Amino acid sequence: MRTKWWAAALLFFLFLVTAVGFACAQRRIIIGRQVRIPVTIRILPCVESSVRGPLRFVVPGGMGAYREVEPAYYVLETNTSVQIEFTASPVVYENAYHTLDVVFWVNSRENTFTNIQPLILRLNDAQLFESQIFGQVTIHSVEAQPAGVYHGTITITVSPLIEG
């Protein structure tokens, strides 16, 4: 009977040591566990803008200077000082061998740009900038400009001014 009691005591002691060891191992796992916390950062835009266009031309085919059918509109609202850069790609015929002589301007002819020369405007502080974009095509030689559709792009790049 004593042997059974010792065997039961020994079995209980082994169970207790195993349970304590398992609990400590679990504690170590809990202490060493990694926890991930999601982070969301929302950066508010410094500008909101919209464009209404496109800028279209109808050229009858003779030599001369021709204006746009209707100007394109560009609106920019900013909450900081910004730089606005207007650039134009060459206006080309479908085969890209023929290009047109085109000049564009923003609001007045003082603010011109072409595919060679960009226009850079600076806006200080928060403000609303509304503009019309105009253009003029000049045909110098009828033989150099085949009839058809020509395509180009005006790109407007807005970037914050770094004051220093």
Residue 11 lies in a domain: no
CATH of the domain at 87: 2.60.40.2040
Report yes or no on 101 lying in a domain. Answer: yes
> What are the tens digits of pLDDT across the range 121-152?
998 887 888 999 999 999 888 777 888 888 89
Alpha-carbon gap, residue 136 to 107, rounded angstroms: 13
Q: What is the pLDDT of residue 99?
A: 86
Question: Model confidence over 28-50: pLDDT tens digits?
Answer: 555 667 666 666 565 556 667 78
Classify residue 15: in a domain, yes or no: no
Q: What is the per-residue pLDDT across 5-27, written as a single tens digit (0 to 9) for each?
A: 555 555 555 555 555 455 555 55
Residue-range definition of the domain harbouring residue 140: 47-160
pLDDT at 105 over 80: yes
Gap between the Cα atoms of 63 and 141, Å rounded: 6
How far is the CA of 136 from the CAs of 20, 38, 55, 97, in angstroms? 88, 54, 10, 20
How far apart CA 99 and CA 80 sit, in angstroms, is 38
Reported pTM = 0.70
CA-to-CA dists, residue 117 to 85, 89, 92, 133, angstroms? 11, 10, 17, 16
Number of domains composing the chain: 1
